[in-house]
Amino acid sequence: MTDEIYEDIAIHQMIDDITDNLSAMTREERLAWFRRSQYPHPVNFQKEIDGTVYTVNAHFNAAASESIREKAERILLKL
């Protein structure tokens, strides 16, 4: 296996671990975890795959009816 495949497997395992931990928490604990874990900067990154560099830039609607935090909390409360 290539390093990229090992990296993808590791990332998926971490996501599964986080999901398992969140599922065991109360709503209040999940919201507190989310507040502690928020990424404070714009979500932009680059990743090279097979010699091609992909750039991801996140854009958010400033006129949205809810903030990204409110949206995430709404989603977390549905769990």
Pick the closest to residue 77 from 33, 38, 39, 40 (CA basis). Answer: 33
The model's pLDDT over 42-73, given as tens digits with 9 standing for 90+, comes to: 678 888 999 999 998 877 777 888 887 788 88
DSSP letter string over 26-66?
-HHHHHHHHHHH---S--EEEEEETTEEEEEE----TT-SS
Find where tokens 């903030």 sit. Answer: 67
The model's pLDDT over 2-21, given as tens digits with 9 standing for 90+, comes to: 777 778 888 889 889 988 99
Share above pLDDT 90 across residues of the chain, in percent, rounded to a whole number: 19
